[in-house]
Amino acid sequence: MVPLGVIQADRQPSILSDVCWTNPNRYRADYAFLAAACGGSQGVDGIFASMLVGASWEGRMTRRGLYTPVILGSFPAFALAFRRGDISEATDAVVRVFDPGALCALKGTALSGEARSQGISTAEALGCDPLEFFAMRVVCSYSDTGAAARADASSAVDRYAKVIRNTAGELVWEYGKRIARLDAERIKAAAGFLSQYKKIRLGCVDIESENEFSVVAVVSLDGNPIEFSRTILIQAVTTERPFGFKASAGADGRIQDAGRWPFGVERVRSRVTIRLKPLPAGAARKIPEVFALDGNGYPFDEKVPATGGREGEPLAIRLSENSIYHIVKR
């Protein structure tokens, strides 16, 4: 299970203290996407990334390493969206009430370590589907008079179709097809095995990717809705592998060499189309410009293929193969 389900104390600050992906794993560029999308949807106040310390890049796919091109490189768009509150909170799925007197008497709860040692999962203790964590908020309340509440989650989790839809209407996770989509006012993003789709439409943004696995995000930098934004960040990350990494063929895939620095990153092969709307009256208007940026945020000396962008005409951009970041200015 993805380590992003949070049980929150009702009306109290909540953090997720530790998040990491299982490694070695070539398909891990969705780390920041899912942390921001699920954390924002659940109303989490802070997320701590494991082992994001030190002054050097990771030399291999370590147990908790995040200092790699596609993981650390995908933080800017999603960290901004998370901090700014771009992802709307979902409704409550489960509210479990605990008596504070019993807690102070050390009587334990259904969520205690003793319950877990007996093989009782958190979802079982709460009486909910574990997938509800990614569609709604799971909340604990502390009162000697309150009553537990349970919302109908049938429209949020469809196990037959293998689809999770958060109740805020912004995050759709088709885990059967291995793709997740985020469609909020100031951020549009898709993650997973995107090449199986000819085009992914997210409101005013279309995403097309030839990469087997990738994460593409479009985020407003000036705080306006994307279609009215004057400065937009497009971010695209793919897959990575340490130099020299080697695994045996076949079902077991036994690792023969864990590899070392530098990481090889698959080139970006994606297109983004944005249907921009006219700026307010009196604002200076010009054809949008598109710049590819290096890892430090400076423009490359490279022309980015883009067409359209005039009033009423979609702006179609072929992303640079060599850049994670692109800036659109108008």
Between CA 72 and CA 21 the distance in angstroms is 13
Tell me: pLDDT of 65 over 80.
no
**What percent of the chain has a predicted confidence (pLDDT) above 90?**
39
Tell me: pLDDT of 317 over 90.
yes
pLDDT band, residue 118 (cuts 50/70/90): low
Give the residue-averaged pLDDT of 150-171. 86
Between CA 73 and CA 211 the distance in angstroms is 17
What pLDDT sits at residue 263?
A: 85
Give the residue-averaged pLDDT of 97-109. 74
Between CA 240 and CA 323 the distance in angstroms is 14
Name the more confident of 90 and 206: 206
Give the residue-averaged pLDDT of 165-191. 95
For 4, phi then psi, to 5°, come to -130, 10
For 228, phi then psi, to 5°, come to -110, 0
Residue pair 289/230 in contact by the 8 Å Cβ criterion: no
Give the residue-averaged pLDDT of 217-237. 96
pLDDT band, residue 282 (cuts 50/70/90): low
Tell me: pLDDT of 203 over 60.
yes
Between CA 249 and CA 247 the distance in angstroms is 7
What pLDDT sits at residue 66?
A: 75
Name the more confident of 185 and 129: 185
Residue pair 273/314 in contact by the 8 Å Cβ criterion: yes
What pLDDT sits at residue 48?
A: 80
pLDDT in tens, 254-265: 888 878 888 889
The structure tokens listed for 135 are 């569609």
**DSSP letter assigned to residue 120:** -
Between CA 105 and CA 28 the distance in angstroms is 43
Between CA 215 and CA 70 the distance in angstroms is 9
Domain boundaries, the chain: 7-88+168-329, 92-157
Residue pair 137/42 in contact by the 8 Å Cβ criterion: yes
Give the residue-averaged pLDDT of 257-286. 84
CA dihedral 206, 211, 213, 219 (to 10 degrees): -40
Contacts of 37 (CB under 8 A, 6+ apart): 78, 87, 170, 171, 180, 182, 189
Tell me: pLDDT of 63 over 70.
no
